[in-house]
Chains A and B, each alone.
Chain A
Amino acid sequence: MIIVVDGINRHRYTRLLDEMFALRARVFGQRLGWEVDIRDGREIDQYDALDPAYVIGVNEQNRVVSCVRALQTTGPHMLSDVFSSILNGEPPLRSATLWESTRFCVDTEVLDRGKSRNSVSYATCELMAASLEYARDSGISDIVTVIDPVMDRVLKRSDCAPYGYVGKTTPMGKVSAMAALLDCSDDRIDRIRRFAGIEGDVFVDDQREQCLSDEGMTAAESIAPTSSQPTTQDRMQALLQEYCLEQVADAATQEELDAARRLTDNLLGAGLIRENHSLLAGI
């Protein structure tokens, strides 16, 4: 699932963002070897201070598995500054309906191969579809995205080939980077969704949004250690309770009924079962 964190709600998602910065450090610092600033295992640059929007993918365990960052091209953004070498020092495109997307990445350590929901391919397509949908719904028609040649191939393979490029492919550490153009049209979004078999709303609902917040995560942690034991205990209790009810109900003679009631009383006394209405009625 996908969640959008921006300047308005980021104070509620500091843990999610921290995990995202750690993922970016692993991908851009270690795997791709880009010249990025990494401190305490987090990759954070000056554009993260400009209230960008982050489109973040999370798996069922609420772990960050993918992310991308968006900025408006009317204001400061990466192509207008640190990525200007891609544009040969030429001024970047500037338009109200064009956003810049940077730091697109997925966690290849957590995700597997193949095409399941837990695969690199699905997570990549889900993030692409979601970021295009978020942009489209904001009135944006095109995205200029800074990617490496590997990502460029991924886009082409996922039926999402860029319709154009600006500037040239430029060395950036171990690999090179380029600026590709993507339209946020329904047609492109449909193609990506069809390719990966994505159906329905990819964005989290209010309840999941709450779970992913700092508040929600802290709550989940405080319940977690105590909640796992009671579940087996509860199941045992329910089974015993059921057994007692059956014994009482199936008693053919007075003797059997008395024995069943004695057993129930003993178990109740030992605290192994709880009194409930049907049980009391049986007794």
Chain B
Amino acid sequence: MSVIDLSKLPFPEHNLRCFLDTVCAEHELDFAAYAGMNPIQQSVHGFVNYPDEWQTRYVEQGYQHKDPALLMASRSIAPVDWQRLRKETSFQTIMQAAHDFGISEQGLTIPVRGPYGDVGLFSVTRNCSDREWRLLKTSIIGDLQTAAVHLHDHVMQSSILTRKLTHPSLSEREIEILQWVAAGKSQQDVADILSISNRTIEVHLRSCRTKLGALTTPHAVGRAIGLSIIYPV
């Protein structure tokens, strides 16, 4: 498998490294990193906002082959708090080295699974006490999940083959809901019109955003119109 550094590639739409910086700034985090495996393209993608010296050191030492944050998290469906890895010798080795570059052992890795066996691992770190970390984690973990999937899907879409395979497929109900939103109806309006709960609408809209690679509902509406999934109103 080849290793592609996405931060070195020109991205017309999104600067992925910039996205990492935004996630860090918004959620009081020090660093963020993404690694993704695309079995269709037979490649590993990665980019981080760690100090360059640490990146070099990491690859030189071949840490990616033994980093438990990557190896173990890919087998979990839940985010793996690095506290769970503290007993692993490989984790201790890497963290001792990372310490010199100002990277703390307080962190977590969110595993993302895509539809074609593609796996993405999104890690964040923050230098703070266990207590502070617990509080921060609780408040940001939902947003981080969304960010991780958004990032992963974008990276996978950068391969033409995967892009062809993952044309967004919305259900009739999702299209129906998005069409009403495009017509200017509020979430509660749509719930009343369709006689289903507000939260059912919410879950469908969240799914629409994920499928369309959008972070906001207006963005999803725009995308859906662009792809002729719904009509412009």
Contacts and interface: CB of A to CB of B under 8 A. Distances in A.
Interface of A: 6-8, 51-53, 70-76, 80, 87, 90-99, 134, 137-142, 163-164, 166, 181, 183
B97 interface: no
Contacts of A53: 76-78
A70 B72 CA distance: 17
B92 interface: no
A96 B148 contact: yes
Contacts of A8: 72, 75-76, 80, 84
B86 interface: no
Contacts of A73: 207
Interface string B127-149: 00000000000100111111011
Contact of B207 (A87, A93, A99, A183): A93
Contacts of A80: 115
B100 interface: no
Contacts of A96: 112, 145-146, 148-150, 210
A68 B113 CA distance: 20
Interface stretch (B1-9, B15-23, B42-50, B193-201): B193-201
B78 A74 contact: no
Main secondary structure of the interface of A (DSSP, over half): loop
Given A97-B146, A163-B200, A183-B199, 10 more contacts: A8-B76, A70-B77, A74-B210, A90-B172, A93-B171, A95-B207, A96-B145, A142-B203, A164-B197, A164-B200
**How big is the B interface, by class?**
35 or more
Main secondary structure of the interface of B (DSSP, over half): helix
Interface string B181-209: 00000000000000011011001101101
Residue from A51, A94, A98, A164 whose CB has the most chain B CB atoms within 10 Å: A94
B223 interface: no
Contacts of B145: 96-97, 138-140
B75 A95 contact: no
Contact of B206 (A51, A71, A97): A97
Interface in B55-86: 72, 75-80, 84
Contact of B77 (A71, A90, A163, A181): A71
Interface in B102-122: 110, 112-115, 117
B78 A6 contact: yes
A98 B170 CA distance: 16
Nearest to B140: A139
A166 B172 CA distance: 11
15 contacts: A7-B76, A73-B207, A92-B171, A93-B203, A95-B149, A95-B203, A96-B148, A96-B149, A97-B142, A97-B146, A98-B207, A139-B110, A139-B141, A164-B196, A164-B200
B169 interface: yes
Contacts of A139: 79, 110, 141-145
A134 B150 CA distance: 23
Contacts of A90: 171-173
B211 interface: yes
B86 to A, nearest CB: 13
Nearest to B203: A142
B208 to A, nearest CB: 9
A152 B145 CA distance: 29
